[in-house]
Chains A and B, each alone.
Chain A
Amino acid sequence: MRFHEHHLANGLPVIAELNDEVHSAAIGFFVRTGSRDETPEVAGVSHFLEHMAFKGTEKYSADDVNRIFDEIGAKYNASTSEEVTLFYAAVLPEYLPRAFEILASLMRPTLREEDFGLEKQVILEEIGMYEDMPTFTAYEKAMGAHFAGHPLGNSILGTNDSISQLSVEQMRAYHAARYQAGNISLAVTGRADWEQIVALTEQHCGGWSNTPCPRITDEAEPEGKVIVYPKEGNLQQHVMQLAKAPPATSDLRYVADMLAVIVGDDSGSRLYWELVDPGHAEAAEVGFNEYDGSGTWLTYLSCAPEETLTNLGRIQSVYERVNKEGVTADEIEQARNNVLSRIVLRSERPMGRLASLGSNWVYRNEYRSVMDDLETYRSITTEDIRELLTRYPFSQLTTVAVGPLESLS
C-alpha cells in the first residue's frame, strides 16, 4: 500500500492509497455537504442534487452518463447523509481515465429545468418508498427529535412539501455555495498510477472555483423526548433511541466503536444475549455514529408491541450496568478479534478502503493505514472504556417508536 497526497491550486485535495495486489480501482468525490447544511426552505436539496448530478453537463446528457458508466462496466453510485454527499465508481484500471472524467463532470452538472421536474417525481416516489419502511421512518423521526433545533436534525430526504416547492434556481444556488473545490475531497484506492491521477485531477478539476463553505459544528445539547408514531396495520414495533456520544474528531471514537460491538453488536453482544437470544426481540442493537462536532449512541429495538416497554427496561438495565461497571478484559479481547477481522476483510476491496480513506480526510484531514487502525484497536484497554463511559454514558435520552402502539406508557 502506498499513500499519496496532492493539493490543487484551487484547494481540492487528492489522496490515494494504491495497491498493485488488487484488480480494480475506486474513485470517490466526498463533498462536505448534506442535510445539515440546508435551510428549512430547501430541505432535501442535498439529496435531490445528488440525483440531479447524474443528469449531466453541456457535454454529456443524462443518457450519456448512464451509458458511458455501463460501457466501461463501472460499479458506481452516490449517497447523501447528514454531512457528506459521496459520488463513487469502481472500475478496472484501464477504464480509470474515462470513469474519472465522467465522475468529475458530475460535480459540475448543468441542472436543466426539464430534468429537474422529472427527477422531482422520482424523489417524491423515493420518499413514498421510505414511508413504507418502518425502520427508516423511525430513524429519521428519531434524528429529528433528538437534534431538534440543531442542523443534524434536518431530514435527508426532505418532505413532500419541501421537495414539491423547491425550484431549480434554489438548487443552483445551493450547488454554487457548497460544491466548491475546497469543500470536496477526492480519494482513489486500488490499482492505479499516481502520476496519472494527478494529471487527471489537474485536467478535470483544476478549473473549479473555490470560495469558503462555512459549517457551524457546535456540539448539540439534546434535551430528549419521547414520541410515538402509530402505524395502523403494522405488526412489529420499531424503536430508535439516541444519546450523546463522542464527535468525529474525538480520540475516543475508536473506543466507542469497540464498546458498541461489545454492548450492541447484532450477535454475541450484551444486548443480544439479554434480548435477542431469549426471543424477547427480533433486534436489539446499539451503534456509534460520529458527526462533525457531535456524536450519537443509536439504539434500535424491533419486537412485538406488547413487549416493547419491558424490552426498553431490559435495555436500560444493560446500560446501567455497563455505565457502572464497565466491561471486562475478555470482552475487549473478543470484540477486538471481531473488529480486526472486519477491517482486514473490508480492506481487501478498493471499494472497502475508499470509505475509510475519504472519511478520515473529510473529518480529520489525516491518513490512516489499515495497520494504524489495527494498532489503535489493539491498544484499547478497560480504562479507555471507563473514560469513555464517564464522558458519554449509554442512555435512552430520545425515544421514537413507530408501529402499532399508540403510546409508550
Chain B
Amino acid sequence: MADLTIQSHIFDNGLTLLVEPMRSVQSASFSLAVPAGVIYEEEGQNASAAILCDLMVRGAGDLDNRSLSDHLDHLGLQRSESVGWNHISFSGATLAENLLPALQIYADIVRRPHLPEDQFSAVVTGVEHSLRAAEDEPRQKVIIELRRRCYDDPWGRPSDGALSDLPRISLPTVRALYERGVRPNGAILGIAGNVDFDAVRDTVESVLGDWERSQDVPVIRGGRGPRRDHISSDSNQTHIGLAYDAVPYRDEDYYAAWAAVSVLSGGSSSRLFTEVRERRGLCYSVYATLNSLLDEGRVLAYAGTTPERAQETLDVTVEEIRKLAEGIQPAELDRCKAGAKSALIMQQESTGARAASITRDWFHLRRVVPLDEVHDRIDRLSVDDVLRYVRQHPPDDLTLLTIGPEALEVPDEVS
C-alpha cells in the first residue's frame, strides 16, 4: 500500500532512533520517550514523574526557563510533554528545516536539565491545580480511578499523580527519578516528516551519542483496588466505568481483540452506540476502548447518564459485551476493517501521528510494523478469528466503578 520505508539506528548507548521520511509534507514531528514514567516512581510518590516532566523543560544546558521556551517558540515548535506509565514523552512538530535545531535543545533537556530548586514549588502547585481540576470532572476521574482497580500497582497509578501523595514529594525524590529513568537505554526517538535519515542520525549521534547509559530499574508488582466500587458524588450524571481483560499489543491475537472492541464501539453503527444511545436514548457518551500495557491489556468502557437510567444503561452495556460471544455478522467486521484501513491511510497525512505510532510500535514490539503489514493483518481477519478470541477471553472478570449519587449492580451478579 505505502512506499514508506522506516529507517532505524540503535546507538551504542541503547538509544533507538526511528525515522520515517515523508516527502509530500513540509513539516516534521518527533516523539522522544524516556523510561521515567509513573511505574518507576517510588511507592507513595505518585506525581513525581509529572513534576519531573514539567521541571525538565524549565531550563537546560545554557538556557534558563524563559530562554528555553523562547528558543522553541522561535523555531515554531508545537510541543507537548506527557507522562505515561512507562515513559515521559516529549513531542514536537514544526517546519522540517527547524527539526534538527529543536532536537539539539531536547538533547539538553534530557541530558542537562537544571531541575531548578527555585521553580520546584511552582511546579508542585501547578501539578496540584491540574489534579484538583480533574477531581471536578467526573467523566475523566472515573477512568483514572477505574485503572487503579483493574491494573495492579504501579500500572494502575494515575499518570498525572495523586493529590494525597503530593505533600510527600521533595526535589531530591524527583531528581532521583531523573537519575533512574532519564537514560538512553530504553529511550526511543521517533521522527516522521520531510527529513533526511543520514542528517538526522548524524545530529542525534553528535548530541546524544555519548549520553551514558545507566542500569535498568526493576518494577515491583503490588495490589489493585476493589473490583466493585462506588464514589459518591452529587454530580448530575452517574458516570460508569467498566473494565475486563484483553490481550496486549504484542500478542498474536491483538488484531482479533481490536476487532472485537471495534464491533462493540468502533463507529456509529457499532453495538454500544446503536443499542445504548440510538435505540434507547440512554446516553450521549458511551464507548469502549482497548488499552494496552507491555504485557497485559484491558477493555475500558464508559457511559454517562442520569442517575434514574444508570442501572438500565449498565445492564444494556454489560449485555452487549456478553453478547459478542454469541455471534458477529460478517458485515459488522467488514465495517471495522473499512474504518481501520481508511484511518491507516489518513495517518500518513500527519507527521505527528506517524512519529507517535512508530515510537509506540518500537516500545511494544521492538520493531515498526509497516503499514501494509497492518493492512494485511486486518484484511485477513475472519469472523471466526474474532469469535474464537472473544470466547477465549470472556468478560468474566468485570471491574465496575461508578461515580454519582448511587451505586449500581452488575446484572446477574447481584450481591
Taking beta carbons and an 8 Å cutoff, which residues of A are in contact with B?
Answer: 21-24, 54, 62-63, 65-67, 69-75, 90-92, 95, 118-126, 128-129, 131-134, 231-236, 267-268, 273, 276-282, 302-304, 333-335, 337-338, 340-342, 344-345, 348-350, 403
Contact = CB atoms under 8 A, between A and B. Distances in A.
Contacts of A302: 129, 133
Contacts of B267: 66, 69-70
Given A66-B269, A131-B236, A236-B133, A341 B78 contact: yes
7 contacts: A70-B335, A73-B340, A128-B304, A129-B284, A129-B304, A278-B122, A279-B121
Interface of B: 24-27, 65-66, 69-70, 72-78, 93-95, 98, 121-126, 129-130, 132-133, 135-139, 233-237, 239, 266-270, 273-274, 277-285, 304-306, 334-335, 338-343, 345-346, 348-352
A23 B348 contact: yes
A287 B95 CA distance: 24
B234 A232 contact: yes
Contacts of B285: 129
Contacts of B343: 73, 75
B126 A276 contact: yes
B342 A63 contact: no
A94 B74 CA distance: 41
Contacts of B126: 276, 279, 282
A340 B27 CA distance: 11
A132 B142 CA distance: 13
Contacts of B348: 23
Contacts of B77: 341
A249 to B, nearest CB: 29
B274 A66 contact: yes
Given A69-B268, A302-B129, A132 B341 contact: no
A118 B277 CA distance: 9
A348 B350 contact: yes
Given A90-B346, A128-B236, A236 B132 contact: yes
A128 B94 CA distance: 39
B132 A334 contact: no
Contact of A304 (B24, B132, B283, B339): B132
Nearest to A336: B76
Given A66-B269, A66-B278, A71-B334, A341 B236 contact: no
A345 B27 contact: yes
Contacts of A232: 234
B65 A282 contact: no
A73 B338 CA distance: 5
Contacts of A341: 27, 76-78, 93-95, 98
B122 A279 contact: yes
B26 A91 contact: no
Q: Which 9 A-B pairs have the closest CB atoms?
A: A73-B342, A341-B76, A121-B281, A282-B129, A279-B122, A279-B125, A66-B268, A73-B338, A126-B284
